Copies of this chain bind each other. A is one copy, B any other.
Amino acid sequence: MRQDHLISAAHLSREDIEAVLDRAAEIDDDTAAFRQRHAGKVLGLCFFEPSTRTRMSFDTAMKRLGGQTVDMGPVESSSVKKGETLADTVRVVEGYADALVLRHPSEGAATMAAEFVDVPLVNAGDGAGQHPSQTLLDLYTIRENAGLDDLTIGIMGDLKYGRTVHSLAEALTNFDASQHFISPESLRLPRNVRYDLHASGAQVKEHTELDEVLPELDVLYVTRIQRERFPDENEYRKVAGQYQIDAETLKAASDDLTVMHPLPRVDEISPDIDDTDHATYFEQAHNGIPVRMALLDILLSQADD
């Protein structure tokens, strides 16, 4: 990659993305070959807000490369509570580790932190900002299941607040995908994201009904609609119900439709889809390992040079 850190998917060129996905595919083919690749190295995990999935996934990825991790632990019991700045914290932890993974509740935290450290830093989520390793594993899953060329993808649910969705949509502009956005009116893509997509020449359409577009999709990416976005419980129920899918819904879809979800799900995807060939969300979660292994491998190898 051209950069030493991974802060935003928006910084990744098509070549960068393909370098990570190709390495992930190599790892998937022959994990054993990477088992001692970074033996003796240590990855620092700095999570300033709770995370199970992402933290475990980076932790596992580093260990599958033969490395070790050290975890800052919950912020309540950390030096942060004594008034330490983020800049000081990362400068200390950098002395322990060969690379850092940072999650922080404030947008822009990773950009700022990266200015203070010399080891590679991966942004694992900064508030409403970026979460680029999620985007990479989404792209990997799409490439493995439907291909990134001539792709027709539907992205459904909460398109207003979901950083996962914004980041994926922008990354897909590198690949000439047809993107369909399906959501209630109140949870449409934010204006600035729509603007950026149009500016980059992406083929974008917006819908309020899934059935308008379902039959032509290669991939349906579902996200959760959060109750707390609605002032009223009845309103929530009415809206949310329209964006839930089950085996019956998918009868109108192509046999090859790939259904994805960043997980955890609540009731957006009925369990009766789990055993169908459409269900790709667990595979998607599992792809976090080879993709994060690939990312760490590339950043750590670059830092060695």
Contact = CB atoms under 8 A, between A and B. Distances in A.
Interface in A252-282: 263-266, 271, 282
A44 B66 CA distance: 16
Nearest to A91: B282
A207 interface: no
A147 interface: no
B96 A57 contact: yes
B60 A70 contact: yes
Contacts of A91: 282
B56 A70 contact: yes
A201 interface: no
Interface in A50-79: 50-53, 55-57, 59-60, 63-64, 66, 68, 70-74, 76-79
8 contacts: A42-B60, A50-B73, A60-B96, A79-B264, A82-B264, A83-B266, A95-B286, A96-B288
Interface of A: 32, 35, 39-40, 42, 44, 50-53, 55-57, 59-60, 63-64, 66, 68, 70-74, 76-79, 82-84, 87-89, 91-93, 95-97, 263-266, 271, 282-283, 285-286, 288-289
